[in-house]
Structure 1
Amino acid sequence: MDDLQAARVNGIRLAYRVAGDPGAPPVVLLPGRGADHTTWDEVIEPLAASWRVYAPDLRGHGQSEWPGDYSLESMRDDVVGLLDHLGVERAIVIGHSLGGVVAYLIAEEYPDRVARMVLEDVPLPVPAGQSVPERPADPFPFDWAMVEQTTDQRNDPGPAWLKRLGEITAPTLVLAGGAASHLPQHEVADLAARIPGAELVTIEAGHEIHKHRLEEFLSAVTAFLTR
């Protein structure tokens, strides 16, 4: 695995990990809220055998810049800006949780940039009725303002986000974490039903499928990507 790199994107520093043959088809891994590229450590090496893998830290996370503005639209545009920086016209986009919301916002707004999409236990864009979690006392590797602002957007998502799921053209795999996940699984199933042609696979692993059932996660993803 190569060293962490960085790009100037939309006026901020975006850090990302890269691995695999530069000539291989590109895959972008987008982590969930509060996580960074290291959440994918066990995923990157197996995927890098067949794909060029890019794993960015979203703004406000890890070693990317913490600018104070954390709309999901800005995260979406950061990823597209990173693709521009890398000279990547189209990529496979794999997103977990909040990273999956960013992924489907890319597929809605920039359909030509997404070759295929995998959504790992990702919420439907409907009002979530969440409260901001209690701020931890210990230092944490993300900006707390990001938690506050993304909670606001989970409670009041963009009005077009739900409708535009039906306009997504990228072949899509939706992975559901099953009964142990904190996300309502009927909403994950509804997400899959709204994306044309999307496939829904449930892996009883809880919210972090790639952490708790790595082999099943990789099997489902690689089967979908190579079909």
Structure 2
Amino acid sequence: MTLVHDVAGDPGAPAVLLLHAGVADRRMWDGLAPALGGPFRVIRPDLRGFGDSPLPVGGPEYTNAGDLAALLDDLGVEDAAVVGASFGGKVALELASAHPGRVRELVLLCPAAPGVPDTEASDAFDAEEGRLLEAGDVEGAVRLNVTTWLGPDADDAAREALAVMQRQAFEVQLAADAAASAAGVPEPGPSPVEVDLAGIHVPTFVVEGAHDMDMLRACARHVAATVPGAELSVLEWAGHLPALERPDAMLALLLDVLRDDPTVHAP
């Protein structure tokens, strides 16, 4: 299947692929994509199970990296700078590992990453989210995610936008799980992709939010320390989703990094 996606900007400009967080969808980039579409060709997909991309039940195996490589093929894009937030950062690393020729640069905003142990805080979050969903309290689970993942600078509009996206993701994923259970087939989801951080050899810029959960802060530091030549920037104001918390500041940062401006790498 072809991922639902938006494309903006000059078709002849360098491509930038924006990968959303696991609590969001392609709409999380609404505050950044129009301005990025000036110097770049901006591609923002919904991964399967998020936004408008369905989560097929009982279909063939797939990987997120494979879906993205196929999307780039469909669009005639040889390679792209890949900006990934949270879960989207992990998917960006999977794409760079499985299809290295398709990635010319990585910008990872508070990425999830393999090889980092859970913490008391992350275990407590997972347990509470699971409890709420098991009880059928989707709205409670939505509120938990909004409260956990947005930092102190997020305004009411950002909180409402995240709630809308997270609610839709829960609805799509829970419906697919229920359909799989009724059909007696495994719950749908991507096949794992092995990520070799030390084997990634493209310019890599990693953002860590000072107000992020401890496990995610450790992920950012682990990626920056393991990918050869990676650069780490700690944003003292940021939580887990800086692109939603301060879109203007993140636009400045992304333009600096993606234009390879060595003078300013932080807002």
TM-score normalised by L of structure 2: 0.70
In the TM superposition, what is the alpha-carbon distance from 1:13 to its structure 2 partner? 4.2
Equivalent position of 1:95 in the other structure = 84
Count of residue correspondences: 207
In the TM superposition, what is the alpha-carbon distance from 1:186 to its structure 2 partner? 2.9
Equivalent position of 1:188 in the other structure = 220
Equivalent position of 2:206 in the other structure = 174
The amino acid of 2:28's aligned partner reads: T
Instruction: Flag the structure with larger Rg.
Output: 2
Equivalent residue runs for 1:1-227 within 5 Å: 12-68=1-57, 74-126=63-115, 127-128=117-118, 130-131=126-127, 133=130, 134-135=132-133, 136-137=137-138, 140-142=167-169, 143-144=172-173, 160-161=194-195, 164-178=196-210, 180-184=211-215, 185-203=217-235, 204-227=237-260
- Distance 1:209-1:37 versus aligned 2 partners, 3 A rule: same
Q: Deviations over 1:180-204 (max 9, x none)?
A: 2125323311111101111101112
- Distance 1:69-1:41 versus aligned 2 partners, 3 A rule: farther
Partners of 1:219 and 1:73 in 2: CA distance:
35
The amino acid of 2:46's aligned partner reads: D
Identify the structure with the greater strand proportion: 1
Equivalent position of 2:151 in the other structure = none
Partners of 2:64 and 2:232 in 1: CA distance:
25
SS at match of 1:42: coil
- Preserved contact between residue 109 and residue 208 of structure 2 (Cα < 8 Å): yes
In the TM superposition, what is the alpha-carbon distance from 1:220 to its structure 2 partner? 2.0
Partners of 1:43 and 1:69 in 2: CA distance:
36
Equivalent position of 1:8 in the other structure = none
Partners of 1:121 and 1:47 in 2: CA distance:
20
Equivalent position of 1:9 in the other structure = none
- Preserved contact between residue 2 and residue 71 of structure 2 (Cα < 8 Å): no
Partners of 1:34 and 1:123 in 2: CA distance:
12
Residue segments in structure 1 that go unaligned for 5+ positions in a row: 1-11
The amino acid of 1:144's aligned partner reads: Q
CA RMSD across the alignment: 2.7
- Preserved contact between residue 60 and residue 68 of structure 1 (Cα < 8 Å): no
- Preserved contact between residue 172 and residue 199 of structure 1 (Cα < 8 Å): yes
The amino acid of 1:202's aligned partner reads: V
SS at match of 2:114: coil
In the TM superposition, what is the alpha-carbon distance from 1:16 to its structure 2 partner? 0.4
- Preserved contact between residue 123 and residue 191 of structure 1 (Cα < 8 Å): no
Deviates more, 1:217-226 or 1:41-50: 217-226
Query: Share of identical aligned residues, percent?
Result: 35
Identify the structure with the greater helix proportion: 2
The amino acid of 2:173's aligned partner reads: W
Partners of 2:22 and 2:66 in 1: CA distance:
17
